[in-house]
Amino acid sequence: MKFLDLAKVYVRSGSGGGGCVSFLREKYVEFGGPDGGDGGHGGSVWAEAVEGLNTLIDFRYQQHFFADNGRPGMGRQRTGASGEDIVLRVPVGTEILDEDQETLIADLTEVGQRVLLAKGGNGGWGNLHFKTATNQAPRRANPGQEGVERTIWLRLKLIADVGLLGLPNAGKSTFLAATSNARPKIADYPFTTLHPNLGVVGIDGVEFVVADIPGLIEGASEGRGLGDLFLGHVERCAVLLHLIDGNSGTLIEDYHTIINELEAYGGELADKPRITVLNKIDTLDAEEREFLREELEDACGERVYLMSGVSREGVDQVLRVLRSCIDEDRLHRKGAEEEEAPWQP
């Protein structure tokens, strides 16, 4: 399935049906009077967050969503049928923006959340509604209210607990593959990751979601490389995991490159809790590890952890540190029956 995190759609609610002008005509009813029914309401357009989706690819193939119009009223006081609503099913974490791509209409962060995008028009009144003591045979009815037409943008920000940051080939995809069932593309050349990947990581009986985004390079905020288009997917994370390649000859420059891009991106991303890890230590001896760690700790002013995604050395320690940074209500605990259930063929 292809990944798409931005889509432009056109929605239009249904117009209300017109009211009816009608008079009762029966053989034994001398003064039947007006009996025109009201028009039906037009269908509305809704957006709803549902489970099982992590991309907006469906909206690449269909961009127009038009709800049904209401049916007109009829004689014998019959009201027209209302138009059917349309529901846009979107992934959890979808932001709905106005046409200017800046005005936020809604942010759907929980399964089942719904928002009204375009309200259907009201049905017009039939002439029965206009009957009064002084006007007992009205010959007018209201037309139905017009529907609402608008253009909106859907922007997906994945719901994850941990976001992976680093330069291309820092080992982010290898870490995700080693700790979860996700199978991102792994190769020895830059930009093997072209779209975000999600993986569920478990440690000490709890699980949390890790998001891997394409690597950043210097000038990403200005559009270099893949740019900072995917940084929005780690905005909702509780903690960021910053991986630095231990084989790089420019550790300090690599560290500051990512920090500068986070600050250039703006918002609260640069202020989020961040865990710094020296990765690929399986290629370093003990003396090199300590020297590089001390050098990196002096530069960032915080503790630096050692890890290798290939050999899994230090991985569990990093996962426990990440777990401690995530609120308990965001963690998913494995049930006792899930952990101890016997194997069955």
Residue 157 in marked binding region: no
The partner residues of 108 in beta bridges, in order of sequence, read 94
Domain spans in the chain, listed from the N-terminal domain onward: 1-156, 162-339
What is the distance between the alpha carbons of residues 233 and 158, in angstroms, rounded to a whole number? 5
Q: Is the pLDDT of residue 26 over 90?
A: no
66 closest CA partner among 51, 99, 88: 88
What is the distance between the alpha carbons of residues 18 and 144, in angstroms, rounded to a whole number? 4
Q: Is the pLDDT of residue 169 over 60?
A: yes
Residue 280 in marked binding region: yes
Q: Is 332 helix (H, G, I), strand (E, B) or coil?
A: strand
| Max mean pLDDT range (36-45, 166-175, 300-309) | 36-45
Share of residues in the chain with pLDDT > 70 (%): 91
Tokens of 327: 């609120």
Q: Are 137 and 34 in contact (CB under 8 A)?
A: yes
| Max mean pLDDT range (217-231, 264-278, 330-344) | 264-278
Residue 152 in marked binding region: no
Is the CA virtual torsion 182, 170, 223, 299 positive or negative? Answer: positive
Q: 1-156 with 162-339: one CATH topology?
A: no
Q: What average pLDDT does the chain have?
A: 87
21 closest CA partner among 112, 130, 172: 130
Could you tell me the CA-to-CA distances from 219 to 222, 253, 259, 261, 263 in Å, in that order?
Answer: 5, 13, 12, 7, 12
What is the distance between the alpha carbons of residues 342 and 345, in angstroms, rounded to a whole number? 10
What is the distance between the alpha carbons of residues 16 and 197, in angstroms, rounded to a whole number? 44
Predicted TM-score (pTM) above 0.85: no
Band (pLDDT 50/70/90 cuts) for residue 339 is very low
Residue 193 in marked binding region: yes
The tens digit of pLDDT for each residue in 171-204 reads 888 899 888 887 776 766 566 677 788 888 988 8
Residue 272 in marked binding region: no
What was the pLDDT predicted at 218? 78
- Report how many helices (DSSP H) and strands (DSSP E) the chain contains, helices first: 6, 15
- Rg, Å, the chain Cα set: 30
What was the pLDDT predicted at 341? 44
What φ, ψ does residue 178 adopt, rounded to 5°? Answer: -75, -25
Share of residues in the chain with pLDDT > 90 (%): 52
Residue 242 in marked binding region: no
What is the distance between the alpha carbons of residues 257 and 200, in angstroms, rounded to a whole number? 28
Residue 181 in marked binding region: no
Work out the angle between the directed axes of helices 251-265 and 286-300 (0-180°, nearest 10).
30
CA 218 to chain CA centroid, Å, is 27
Band (pLDDT 50/70/90 cuts) for residue 232 is confident
Q: Is the pLDDT of residue 113 over 80?
A: yes
Residue 327 in marked binding region: no
Please give the average per-residue pLDDT across 234-253, as a whole number.
Answer: 89
What is the distance between the alpha carbons of residues 311 and 308, in angstroms, rounded to a whole number? 6
Tokens of 3: 């990944």
Q: Are 78 and 26 in contact (CB under 8 A)?
A: no
Please give the average per-residue pLDDT across 299-321, as a whole number.
Answer: 91
What was the pLDDT predicted at 342? 43
Residue 276 in marked binding region: no
Residue 143 in marked binding region: no
Q: Is 318 helix (H, G, I), strand (E, B) or coil?
A: helix
| Max mean pLDDT range (41-45, 100-104, 201-205, 221-225) | 41-45
Residue 27 in marked binding region: no
Q: What CATH number was assigned to the domain covering residues 162-339? A: 3.40.50.300
The partner residues of 239 in beta bridges, in order of sequence, read 162
- CA angle 39/42/46 to nearest 5° reads 160
What was the pLDDT predicted at 193? 73
What is the distance between the alpha carbons of residues 322 and 275, in angstroms, rounded to a whole number? 8
1-156 is classed in which CATH architecture? Distorted Sandwich (2.70)
